[in-house]
Amino acid sequence: MRIAFLVAPEGVEQVELTEPWQTVLDAGDEPVLVSTAPGEVQAFDHLDKAGRFPVQEVVGETSAEDFGALVLPGGVANPDALRTDPRAVAFVRDLCERGRPVAAICHAAWTLIEADVVRGRTMTSWPSLRTDLTNAGATWVDQEVVRCTDGPGTLITSRRPSDLPAFRAAFREVFDRATV
């Protein structure tokens, strides 16, 4: 299965990209780095520049129907940039409306809020997004990982990098059951 990893050209938290990416590879699926611009993505380790990763597909030139699932890594700048790009927001909304499983960690919930796909969902995130999620109609809980099936497709959310082991296990289990 092809799994989209949607990130902005700059600001993704490296560990929130690379660890889920490895999980997808280990399961025999195909991770695809999708961004809002061609070239490379500049990742960060909190506020410090980290690695660079080649963009494989560009939002607006690819289609949600080509993917069986979506991973939204966090970092503060990454989802903040994505939520201001109408093509990225439409891509996320389209995947959600198709009932594809979506896994989002840390600040990535901002992109889901902008796509208007959190209403009625139970979610977690970085704690500072609690009010944003609640105001958008979600129920926020403080747990390392949440699997919500109250809507089209399963939404898997997690709070922070230290929750990555639980996040990876949860989305892998859900993605393994997904049919495209």
Active site residues: 106
CA distances from 5 to 9, 17, 19, 55, 131 (A): 12, 8, 12, 10, 26
Q: How many Å apart are CA 165 and CA 107, to the nearest integer? A: 17
Q: Identity (one letter) of the amino acid at 99?
A: G
129: exposed, middle or buried (C-beta count within 10 Å: 0-12, 13-18, 19+)?
buried
